[in-house]
């Protein structure tokens, strides 16, 4: 998978590059709109992460150019401007997703996976998590054809953890994914812990749920081999 990171903030593009490289992506970096435009023209990318606020180029302009070049790369807009209209404008211009800064790298990866699934119409929509089967299309989890009644949030948490299996997910990362834009100011709350507690309870009625590991003081990890 080839990814182009268009971001003038070098430290940020560096961190994204480190992360995506570790996940097995081939990363290319452009710090200006001009070089991005050239790279997009010459190369073929699967993903373009595009900062809207480039110093020499309006991100929307770059988005338009890319679309005009007939490139079918998935485009995720990244912006710190956070204006309400930006999101609408970006999606109207054909961006596949929109991430406001600051975002979690795990969230970025989850969005990229979701786009892939959508774009390529992946047939295999069932993930096997130990003895549980997760149907992403129908948003259900079952055990030996027994449907487990999970709430929307519980499903989202399990899905997110499965997506980032064998990796510590901090409470902050989980909260950000689950609650998204809702401005619940009480960050110290135990929302996530309560959800995980309920999730474990529901899963353990059917099978072993020990694969959800609590990493003390940090968060959770879904272990899978």
Closest CA to 122 of 110, 133, 114, 130: 114
Distance of CA 49 to the CA centre of its chain: 12
User: What is the nearest approach in angstroms of other proteins to the Cβ of residue 116?
Assistant: 21
Which of 112, 173, 203, 212 forms a contact with other proteins (CB under 8 A)?
173
Residue 192 corresponds to which tokens in the numbers above? 């996530």
Tokens 């079918």 -> residue: 72
Residue 25 corresponds to which tokens in the numbers above? 């992506």
- For residue 58, the cross-strand partners are 53
Does 85 bind other proteins (CB under 8 A)? Our answer is: yes
Residue 202 near residue 150 (C-beta atoms within 8 A): yes
According to CB under 8 A, which residues from 145 to 164 bind other proteins? 151, 153
Does 16 bind other proteins (CB under 8 A)? Our answer is: yes
Between 37 and 173, name the residue whose CB sits nearer to other proteins.
173
Which of 105, 115, 116, 127 forms a contact with other proteins (CB under 8 A)?
105
Distance, in Å, from the CA atom of 21 to the CA atom of 23, rounded to the nearest integer, reads 5
* Footprint on this chain of other proteins (rule: CB under 8 A): 9, 11-12, 15-16, 18-19, 22, 53, 80-85, 100-106, 151, 153, 167-168, 170-173, 175-176, 181-191, 194-195, 197-198, 217-219
């Amino acid at each position: 998978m080839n990814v182009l990171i268009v971001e003038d903030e070098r430290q940020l593009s560096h961190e994204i590059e480190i992360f995506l490289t570790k996940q097995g992506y081939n990363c290319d970096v452009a710090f200006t709109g001009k070089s991005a435009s050239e790279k997009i023209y010459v190369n073929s990318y699967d993903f373009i992460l595009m900062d809207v606020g480039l110093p020499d180029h309006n991100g929307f302009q770059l988005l338009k150019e890319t679309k005009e070049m007939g490139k079918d790369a998935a485009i995720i807009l990244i912006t710190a401007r956070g204006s309400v209209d930006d999101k609408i404008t970006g999606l109207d211009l054909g961006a596949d997703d929109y991430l406001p800064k600051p975002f979690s790298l795990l969230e970025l990866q989850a969005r990229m996976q979701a786009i892939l699934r959508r774009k390529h119409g992946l047939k295999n929509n069932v993930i096997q998590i130990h003895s549980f089967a997760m149907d992403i299309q129908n948003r259900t989890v079952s055990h030996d054809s027994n449907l487990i009644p999970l709430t929307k949030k519980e499903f989202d948490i399990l899905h997110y953890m499965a997506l980032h299996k064998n990796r510590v997910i901090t409470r902050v990362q989980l909260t950000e994914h689950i609650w998204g834009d809702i401005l619940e100011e009480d960050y110290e709350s135990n929302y996530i812990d309560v959800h995980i507690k309920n999730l474990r309870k529901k899963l353990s009625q059917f099978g072993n749920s020990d694969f959800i590991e609590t990493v003390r003081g940090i968060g959770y990890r879904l272990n899978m081999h």
